[in-house]
A = this chain, B = another copy of it.
Amino acid sequence: MAIDGVVALGFDVFGTVVDWRSSVTGEGEAFGREKGIEKDWSAFADRWRAGYQPAMEAVRNGTRPWTILDVLHREILDEMLAEFSIEGLSETEVDHLNRAWHRLDPWPDSVAGLTRLKTKYTLFTLSNGNVALMVNMAKRAGLPWDVILGAEIAGHYKPQPGAYTKSVSLLGLQPEQAMLVAAHNDDLRAARALGLRTAFVRRPTEYGPDQDFDTDAEEDWDIVADDFVDLAKQMGT
């Protein structure tokens, strides 16, 4: 079953396409081994991600001008290094750690599902990640995007309407010709309110084994899928 009239699929990326928590935890563990630092690197990953929405909120509400996610990630990291009492790192080392977000691994089904979907649909990123982050991630992970769109291109962070509407209009499409694919109900609600079609993909361990939100669809999204291969099948590819 495809959805009539949909020609392009926009993807939330962090958590939907890539497993940021395991990846950032793994980056922290590797870093810790190299530097002889022992920390709870899962807690480190969770703390970093917890700073994400508040940092973007300052941009959304106009408290600060447009600032890309790499910079926001770095500001949170600088705070965290103090909190976790990690000291004496060089600028090169901190920058490398900050770019852990450029090196996130996809969920096991992501590349296979995207590769199938790409045969029929235009695949675009509709993420809050900046362009360089998205491009570097895709090169490393083999994510076959047709085009990188989303927050930096639009100058608006999701769930602000401009992030969705600018991405769709750059493709020369009407909202109903595009579908947002996301593991997050709030993201899909924002997209649906603007006329986009919606696909929820279950990622029930994105936030770790105890995740108790976004484990399932909270609305009658156009598609609800177990993973990207299931999504590809349901979209007729």
Contact = CB atoms under 8 A, between A and B. Distances in A.
Interface of A: 70, 122, 130-132, 134-135, 138-139, 145-149, 152-153, 170-173
Given A131-B147, A147-B131, A147-B147, A152 B138 contact: no
Nearest to A131: B170
A222 B170 CA distance: 33
A148 to B, nearest CB: 5
A128 to B, nearest CB: 15
A171 B135 contact: yes
A146 B146 CA distance: 7
Nearest to A171: B132
A33 to B, nearest CB: 28
Contacts of A152: 170
A217 to B, nearest CB: 29
Given A134-B147, A139-B146, 12 more contacts: A70-B172, A122-B139, A131-B147, A131-B149, A131-B170, A131-B172, A132-B171, A132-B172, A138-B146, A147-B148, A148-B148, A152-B170
18 contacts: A70-B172, A122-B135, A122-B139, A130-B170, A130-B172, A131-B149, A131-B171, A131-B172, A132-B170, A132-B171, A134-B147, A135-B147, A135-B171, A138-B146, A139-B146, A145-B147, A147-B148, A153-B153
Interface centre among A130, A152, A153 (most CB of B within 10 A): A153
